[in-house]
Structure 1
Amino acid sequence: MNQEAAEPAAQLAGVVPNFSALLPSTPRGARQARLLAVQQLRDWDLPLDSAEHIVAELAANAATHGRVPGRDFRLTLYVVGGILRIEVTDTCGDHPPRPQHPAADAESGRGLLLVEALADRWGVALGPRPRKTIWAELDLAPEPEHGSSCSGASGALSQEPRR
């Protein structure tokens, strides 16, 4: 890990802050992914909340649904142009994941719905066979101020769907 890559001077020099780890496709490996991501984001002085939850969900999915005995999954984090990209790659690319709407009393099945809600964009990249990568992006740059007055009579905020 190159902690200097997160410094502004290093970013101006074209260095892309990045981190990658190969982890076992087990619940312990998923936990390690979350802990490593949190430490790396702290080292880069980046916000943790959404990124930590996204890593936890994607790593848990890789360890649960993308598990192939004897094969690991890869966690990759990098920052380019004010965007944090989180990638989790496993070796079970036969069935690309899709968000599901589980029953209200279901104890699982909401992981991708959480990723969809927390990420600014997310998707699936297949290949090279048999791999698939689930990625999510978070915009790090603050949005520009549009003035201090509220628009709309109700005072409610409108939000475009995140993808």
Structure 2
Amino acid sequence: MNSEISTQIPTPLGELTLRLSSTPRGARLARRMTAQQLDAWGHPHDGDANDTAQHVVAELAANAVTHGRVPGRDFALRLLLLPEGTLRIEVSDARGERKLRIVTDPDAEGGRGLVLVAVLATTWGVDEREVGKTVWAEIALSPRRPGPRGEGVQARATT
């Protein structure tokens, strides 16, 4: 975790914000909505950027549902498409506890989700909120090429 990174965010090119139920179904929906939104932003479902974003969202949403759940409170997913080709993923839950556990014991039964986030993200961290916390990660997106109507489309190699 890199807590020295500034949390000032440049003006995003696109944004998606959702409140989801703190249930396994809500966590699955967060991943599916991420895939759809990245596809709409020109990063198709079968592309590396979309796959990476789905993995990071899946881990952060699962943690919010499993460890950050407060009965009767939802969790929030926010995706920000930043101008420098970066996707910022934010998952907020109602539990204020900021201590995150990264498990490195190979015999442990769980706790490796944040290791995956650390490997896939260029940077990540935790921010306090008025109620709860936000765990965020930023991933680099591959370049897009303009589509037929100017939309971004993932560049693909052809053989």
> In the alignment, does 2:24 pair up with 1:27?
yes
Secondary structure, aligned partner of 1:48: helix
Matched residues in 1 for 2:86 and 2:98: separation? 28
Residues 32 and 141 (structure 1 numbering): CA distance in 2 closer, same or farther, change over 3 Å?
Answer: closer
Preserved contact between residue 96 and residue 124 of structure 1 (Cα < 8 Å): no
Secondary structure, aligned partner of 1:19: strand
Matched residues in 2 for 1:134 and 1:19: separation? 16
| Alignment match, 1:122 | 124
| Alignment match, 2:140 | 139
**Percent same amino acid at aligned positions?**
53
Q: Larger Rg: 1 or 2?
A: 1
| Alignment match, 1:94 | 97
Matched residues in 2 for 1:136 and 1:57: separation? 11
Q: RMSD of the alignment, in Å?
A: 1.6
* 4+ residue runs over 4 A deviation: none
| Match among 53, 56, 59 for residue 57 of structure 1 | 59
Q: Which structure has the higher relative contact order (CA within 8 Å, separation 6+)?
A: 2
Deviations 1:97-149 (A, max 9, x none): 13222x32333210100000000110000122x3200000012256xxxxxxx
Matched residues in 2 for 1:89 and 1:18: separation? 15
| Alignment match, 1:79 | 81
The alignment's TM-score, normalised by the length of structure 2, stands at 0.74
Preserved contact between residue 78 and residue 89 of structure 2 (Cα < 8 Å): yes
Matched residues in 2 for 1:88 and 1:95: separation? 13
Matched residues in 2 for 1:90 and 1:99: separation? 18
Matched residues in 1 for 2:76 and 2:129: separation? 14
Preserved contact between residue 22 and residue 74 of structure 1 (Cα < 8 Å): yes
Preserved contact between residue 96 and residue 132 of structure 1 (Cα < 8 Å): no
Preserved contact between residue 16 and residue 37 of structure 2 (Cα < 8 Å): yes
Residue 80 of structure 1 deviates from its aligned partner by 1.3
Matched residues in 2 for 1:108 and 1:95: separation? 19
* Unpaired runs of at least 5, structure 1: 1-13, 143-163
